[in-house]
Structure 1
Amino acid sequence: MQIVTSKEMQQLDQYTIETIGMKEELLMENAGRAAADEIHKMHSEAHTAVIFAGKGNNGGDGFVIGRNLSSLGWNVSVYLLAAEDALSGGALYHKNLYCACGLPMTAGTGIPEPDSPEEGVIYIDAMLGTGIHGELKEPFYSTARWLNSVKAPVTAVDIPTGVPANEEELPETAVMADTTVVLEAPTLSTYLYPARHYYGEIRTVSIGVPRISWETLNQKRQTWEAGDAAKSLPERTQESHKGDNGKGLLIAGAYNMPGAPAIASNACLRSGIGLLTTSVPESALTAVASHVLEATYFPLAETKNGQVADLQHTPFPWASMDGVAAGSGLGRTDSTKVLTRRLLTETQIPLVLDADGLYFLPELEEEMTNRESPLILTPHPGEMGRLTGLSPKEINAERFTVSRNYAREFGCYVVLKGPNTIITTPEGRQYVSTSGSSALAKGGSGDALTGIVLAMMLQAPTVEQGVCNAVYIHGLAAEMATAEGASDYSFTASNLIDYLPKAIAFIQSQKK
């Protein structure tokens, strides 16, 4: 599913109407009918819809929804928050059609107060669409506040009134919808917090925009879902052997952090890698090996104070590997900086850097730029802030823009973790994982993702698909665990690993 900015959605509509020749009234009819059908399916217990409409296209959609719900047996009424003569184009056409059907409408700029019982009633927000910016003005401000006070369900059409479509600051007041029926494609804010809270449950419906219109729109942003993962997860054949499924090296851990390499290694093994070598400090080897039986090990010598010794000359076995991951629990020492530089300059295979492996990258930007083999970075907002010089708040406000700019500048893949993790390629293509759960907000979740990325990128047809699959499966495993009763309070990364086989089996079941 494509993800658009408000400007891109306008361009899509404009091309469809002006170049292809699909009338605006028809496109609006398609949108309103699809939304009405979805609302009817969601609220089979309801019998009355009170629709708040603005003067623009979103209001026009509201009139179509009202007319179609009426045909399905609903009682409907529309409050037009504008003078009737303020409408034009498709909105005017569908307002007239609605009224010609003898359906009730009240028009004016005053604040409406519907006198309807709340039981069996839903309120539909069709006031303002994706092109609105800034603070709400009257009567929309007061109407939004009123809608937020009602106990009956509120469904927004395309976007809740007041919520910006793009990477913009939320206004003081916006409609807090229980459900949003997104028309054709979600906008950026659908996947940004705190804006995401205002959408409620999201249902996306097609409104019949021709494929050629999408092909002319130069945007490279889409969701990554179970079907996408199923298409790119390779089948295991009867004659395959362990060497066919990837040979990976994981460099992680310290004497006081043996859990990170254990979690990452187990996640990697459960994600299907054929052979894994885990490199940890000697003092952590026993602890890690007792929890990870299937890996082989490359121990690292240490000094008396527990620091890894002489990483400048350690003969790592990466020449015989298909991919390498490093960073989890390494510590922010000079040894880690030496290792990171060597990984960037000496390896000619895909490289995943996470956690402490990201820490020294601001000092190694030339090495990053000159690297030719794939580089995958998996920062959370705080780590992305260190890479870019921005605060976590600034990162979260512009997650799409910041990650795309960084990936393009340094020619790397950026996996910006968080709710709806964003994966960005060196060319600027972006994918939003639709899986995930609040249960992932725990120490160790990122270590697990590192291991999954290492395994998946060595098995998928491309690194791009493998990284996207890893992020999706990571989130899906958490979803499955909580769906089966696991509490997001007590959920741990070890629990996540236990659910990876179920998540992968589900993806396999989706293959067609």
Structure 2
Amino acid sequence: MGLEQPMSGSVVFPKYPLRIVTGSIMASIDRQAIEARGISGLYLMERAGEAIANGLLARFSRPDLIRTAIVCGKGNNGGDGYVVARRLAELGLEPIVATIGSGKELKGDARINFDQFRQQGIVIRECLTSSDLDEWMSATSGSRVFVDAILGTGVRGAPRGLIAESITALNRCAKRKHIVSVDISSGVEANTGNVEGEAIKADEVVTMGLPKVGHVLPPGLNYYNKLIIADIGFPLDLLHTVEAEAELLTERLISPWLPPRNLSAHKGSEGHLLILAGSRGMTGAALLCAKAAIVTGVGLVTTVCPKSLLPIYAGGVWEMLTLPAEETPEGSLDENTWELLTNGTIRFSAVVVGPGLSRHPSTAALVRKVVCEIEKPVLIDGDGLSAVTPVLLAERKHPWIATPHPGEMARLFQTDVPTIQANRWDYAKRLAGSKSGVVVLKGAKTAIASPRATLYVNPTGNPAMASGGMGDVLAGMIGALLAKGIDPIPAAASGVYLHGLAADLLVEETGAEAVAASQVIGKIQPALCRIRKTGNRE
């Protein structure tokens, strides 16, 4: 079915660019395929059901699938569910199927597949009342896998009536069963990610053709663990040319952005990253940032540190150079450090400023001088973001990357975190401005925005990364790519993808529920090697 199963991570990728579309746009692609290209709707539905069934057969044993429970709604989503049931039954399995409502209410291709399934002599339970639903759920007590084919990508608003009851019933058994949703978790709006009532908490979502906005924006992104994107035969030119606000990052996309070192490489040819990070009580931020940069492949790292903390810095990362500087009474870099940066003592190709730097007024003044006057690419992170404003960033004439988490973005725009989370892409694009900015808005499905490229959304990473220091590692990784001469947009996107992939590989290997930022550093090169292999296969 055109699926590529990755070693780890939360998304299975087809082999074409993954524009992120609304349910409305995907419906338009579906209509064009049928009306203008002569592709049968029945054919597309058959391919969709086949993709789901084949995925189940690839991931589960026959005993797990023998009594797969499939609950179908009244639309084409339900039609896909009947195809799944028929495919499993043809292999001698015994799916237990319910339709919410009467089969007489079904229309078009969904009705055809409903009738075809019944012609095989298998009973479909028509749930017309709450009692019918309860009886069907009791009959599925021995089922290990459930398929949610209730609501599709065209539904708006809160589920009601028996539909809502069926969602609640599936969620009650979610901890004991494996739930696979067709196209999107029922109850999640595909156009926005909004969830107005209850929604299915799926282990997997198999979506057709392209990822949907509701898969990658909160709260919708919290209603599945893994997204599988199935190539069901839509004409590729329709998928390639569709207008979309964002695109999902893939290994194929970023592989060309990360060229391998040539045979004559030396430390001087691989860039020199200058880091201004850390303060009393926050030295770990600087050390994590520097170590991550080195492992990502920059040739040299120099970290500017408060002079009283030099022993900690020098002993923390042996491979980095240190530059002790004047400090404030609180043990952070003083504004006078600026003279040290501009006297010609060191030559650098990019700067990271901010991780663990402190918000002391003198330190903040130093950050503003770096942002306003250094012509080399600058990445601003952590406390560095507290020293700047959107206006100051917009006035910078040279390349810059800002890496705020939602709380930092809220401070920049003097609003609250819920507002940022409800409008993530808009705020990322607002901060990036109209010139040379790139914004990495961190969080689940990190967004990378720039006025010079489409908005990218990162699929890698996992909840085990919810610990201190992860942002410092990311800053070092992106800073390393900047220092190596990679353009800010691919540097930011590649760094984010690598960062999440490294954590995915770590969790895959250890099964850990939580990991330390320092552990993720150890998986940067394995993640990079995997991307290299993807590039070599192309």
* TM-score, length of structure 2 as denominator length: 0.86
SS class of match (2:211): coil
Match of 2:72 in 1: 53
Per the alignment, residue 165 of structure 2 pairs with 142
How far apart are 1:315 and its partner, in Å?
4.5
Q: Which residue of 1 aligns with 2:8?
A: none
Q: Which amino acid aligns with 1:334?
A: P
Indicate conservation of the 8 Å contact 2:394/2:433, yes or no.
Answer: no
Distance 2:215 2:504 in 1: 19
Aligned to 2:290: 265
What is the Cα deviation at residue 30 of structure 1? 1.7
Task: Tell me, in whole angstroms, the C-alpha distance in 1 between the residues paired with 2:428 and 2:391.
Answer: 19
Q: Is the 8 A contact 1:336 1:356 kept in 2?
A: no
SS of equivalent to 1:299: strand
Candidates 41, 44, 53, aligned match of 1:36: 53
Question: For 2:190, what is the secondary structure of its paired residue?
Answer: coil
1:40 is matched by which residue type in structure 2? Answer: L
**Is residue 63 of structure 1 aligned with residue 82 of structure 2?**
yes
- Alignment-mate amino acid for residue 484 of structure 2: Q
Equivalences, count = 509
Answer whether contact 1:381 1:417 (CA < 8 A) is retained. Answer: yes
Which region of structure 1 is more displaced relative to structure 2, 294-303 or 137-146?
294-303
Structure 2 residue 203 is matched with structure 1 residue 184: no
Q: Tell me by how many angstroms 1:101 deviates.
A: 4.1
Report deviation, 1:246: 1.3
The residue aligned with 1:324 is 351
Q: Distance in 1 between the 2:116 and 2:288 partners?
A: 62
- Secondary structure at 1:361 match in 2: coil
- Inter-partner Cα distance in structure 2 for 1:233 and 1:312: 33
Q: Which residue matches 2:365? A: 338
Compared CA separation, residues 461 and 217, structure 1 to 2 (3 A): same
What is aligned with 2:13? none
Mapped partners of 1:232, 1:310: distance in 2: 36
What amino acid is aligned across from residue 157 of structure 2 in structure 1?
G
Partners of 1:121 and 1:440 lie apart in 2 by: 30
Partner of 1:277, secondary structure, is strand
CA displacement at 1:260 relative to structure 2: 1.9
| Structural mapping, 1:146-295, within 5 Å | 146-150=169-173, 151-295=176-320
**1:326-357 deviation digits (Å, cap 9, x = unpaired):** 01122112223322332232222221000011
Q: Secondary structure at the match of 2:101?
A: coil
Q: Where do 1:437-452 residues align within 5 Å?
A: 437-452=462-477
Corresponding residue SS for 1:243: coil
For the pair 1:357 / 2:384, whether they are aligned, the reply is yes
Match of 1:5 among 22, 28, 42: 22
2:527 aligns to what?
Answer: 503
**Counterpart AA for 1:508:** R
Q: In structure 2, do the counterparts of structure 1 residues 8 and 402 end up closer, same or farther at CA, with 3 Å as the change threshold? A: farther
Superposed CA deviations along residues 191-236 of structure 1, whole A, max 9, x for unmatched, are: 3454334324433321111111113311152332444443332111
Alignment partner for residue 73 of structure 1, among 63, 73, 92?
92
Say which is worse superposed, 124-133 or 17-26, in terms of deviation: 17-26
Contact 1:169–1:397 (CA<8 Å) still a contact in 2? no
Aligned with residue 487 of structure 2, among 462, 473, 495: 462
Q: How does 1:340-489 map to 2 (within 5 A)?
A: 340-362=367-389, 365-408=390-433, 411-427=436-452, 429-459=454-484, 461-485=486-510, 487-489=512-514
Q: Which residues of 2 match residues 308-319 of structure 1 at below 5 A? A: 308-311=333-336, 314-317=339-342
Distance 1:305 1:500, change over 3 A: closer
Contact 2:33–2:39, Cα closer than 8 Å, also in 1: yes
- 3-state SS of the aligned residue for 1:298? strand
Whichever residue aligns with residue 139 of structure 1, its letter is L
User: Using the alignment, how far apart are the partners of 1:276 and 1:312 within structure 2?
Assistant: 18
How many Å separate the matches in 1 of 2:518 and 2:189?
A: 38
> Structure 1's 121 and 73: CA in aligned 2 closer, same or farther, altered over 3 A?
farther
Hey, what's the Cα distance between the residues in 2 that align with 1:405 and 1:18? 39
> Alpha-carbon deviations, 1:130-174, whole Å to 9, x = none?
122221111101111222234443321111211222434423322
Classify 1:21/1:251 alpha carbon distance in 2 versus 1 (closer, same or farther; 3 Å).
same
Match of 1:90 among 109, 113, 136: 109
Matched to 1:501, the amino acid is: Q
Query: Is the Cα–Cα contact under 8 Å of residues 70 and 95 in structure 2 kept in the other structure?
Result: yes
More displaced stretch, 336-345 vs 479-488: 479-488
Give the secondary-structure state (helix, strand or coil) at the position aligned to 2:70: strand
- Could you list the per-position Cα deviations for residues 362-389 of structure 1 after superposition, in whole angstroms to 9, with x for gaps in the alignment? 2xx3332232322111111111111223
One-letter code aligned to 2:311: T
Tell me which amino acid in the other structure corresponds to 1:13.
Answer: D
Tell me the distance in 2 between the aligned counterparts of 1:29 and 1:227. 28
Give the C-alpha shift of residue 103 in structure 1: 3.8
CA distance in 2, matches of 1:149, 1:308: 54
Equivalent pair of 1:473/1:500 in contact (CA under 8 Å): yes
Q: In the alignment, is the contact (CA less than 8 A) between 2:365 and 2:387 conserved in 1?
A: no
Deviation at residue 448 of structure 1 after TM alignment: 1.4
SS of aligned partner of 2:341: coil
Distance 1:168 1:494 in 2: 33
Please tell me whether the aligned partners of residues 253 and 284 of structure 1 are also in contact (alpha carbons under 8 angstroms). Answer: no
Q: Does 1:122 align with 2:149?
A: no
- 1:233–1:460 Cα contact (<8 Å) kept: no
Instruction: Specify the SS of the correspondent of 2:524.
Output: helix
| Distance change >3 Å, CA 221–CA 72, structure 1 → 2 | farther
Cross-structure match for 1:19: 36
Q: Distance in 2 between matches of 1:334 and 1:21?
A: 66
* Pairwise CA distance, 1:177: 2.5
- For the 8 Å contact 2:194–2:218, the answer to whether it is kept is no
SS of match in other structure, 2:234: coil
Cα deviations across residues 250-272 of structure 1 (Å, max 9, x unaligned)? 11222443222222111111111
The amino acid that maps onto 1:163 is: V
Mapped to 2, the partners of 1:324 and 1:468 lie a distance apart of 17
